Amino acid sequence: MTYLATETRGDIALIGLNRPEKRNAISDAFVEELEAAVAEAETHAKAGVIHGIGPHFCAGLDLAEHVKKTPFEGVHGSRQWHRVFDRIQRGRLPWFSALHGAVVGGGLELAASTHVRVADSTAFFALPEGQRGIFVGGGGSVRAARLMGVARMTDLMLTGRSVDAATAEAWNLVQYVVPEGTALERAVALAEKAATNAEISNYAVINALPRIQDMSSDDGLFVESFIASFTATSPEAEARLNAFLAKKAAKVSKPGDDGA
């Protein structure tokens, strides 16, 4: 059985979660297939988009599979999620997610591992693990909590309530909210923009920024100076800077003028 639908559009790798009859619930085999798809994307693409096929992005953990596991098997399953989601967050490519319908539990944890999240107006977000007698296990206590803050995540987990896309944007869970049915189109357009950046710059953005946030201010500034110097002296940076100085590169435009 295959759980994903993958395709390539130019420099963009698209990974579609394709288990709509289960609201794209994530099983162990699902995670293994996702890991292989991300690895394949890294061999040819410059950016990637993860989206859901059917009415929902992802309703989270496959509880029918999880309930049969021993505690030790549960730990191994959680660590597998961590490994795969870490590869998305801190791998070679910038990843964008297109969200609609349920973005719940493990689905929110998956979305939180991507770098830019685009939600359409149908998207809703929840962490119902507390009502299921379990705890987040796909990195949510680190990634989702750092996006929205511990207090808001505590609220979601204790009450089981869901929030809409507008609230998710206000809480920093998503960066864009778009009309129903347009999240994938916008996510692909944003990924195409990112794909035009220097590869070393993209790599520094997705790998250095989260690590710098984990450092003290002084350590972060010290590391930043080295990364800035290293990227600025690359051959591609030199070519791009010279193109700008020669007025051959576009300037920063006003909001709304760049199509974002």
The domains located in the chain, with CATH, are 4-195 (3.90.226.10), 199-245 (1.10.12.10)
**Is residue 109 annotated as part of the catalytic site, yes or no?**
yes
Catalytic residue among 40, 42, 109, 169: 109
Mind listing the pLDDT tens digit of every residue in the chain (260 residues)? Answer: 689 999 999 999 999 999 999 999 999 899 999 999 999 999 999 999 999 999 999 998 876 665 666 776 778 778 998 999 999 999 999 999 999 999 999 999 999 999 999 999 999 999 988 788 778 888 899 999 999 999 999 999 999 999 999 999 999 999 999 999 999 999 999 999 999 999 999 999 999 999 999 999 999 999 999 899 888 877 776 677 666 667 776 776 777 776 55
**Is residue 185 annotated as part of the catalytic site, yes or no?**
no
Contacts for 164 with CB less than 8 Å, ≥ 6 apart: 121, 123, 124, 125
Model pTM? 0.90
Catalytic residue among 7, 35, 42, 129: 129
Q: Output phi, psi for 237, to 5 deg.
A: -60, -45
Instruction: Of 90, 100, 175, give the one whose Cα is nearest residue 139.
Output: 90
Q: What is the pLDDT of residues 31-76, one digit of tens each?
A: 999 999 999 999 999 999 999 999 999 998 876 665 666 776 778 7
Other C-beta atoms lying within 10 Å of the C-beta of residue 49:
30
Structure tokens that stand for 5 in this block: 């639908």
Contact yes or no for 36/82 (Cβ under 8 A): no
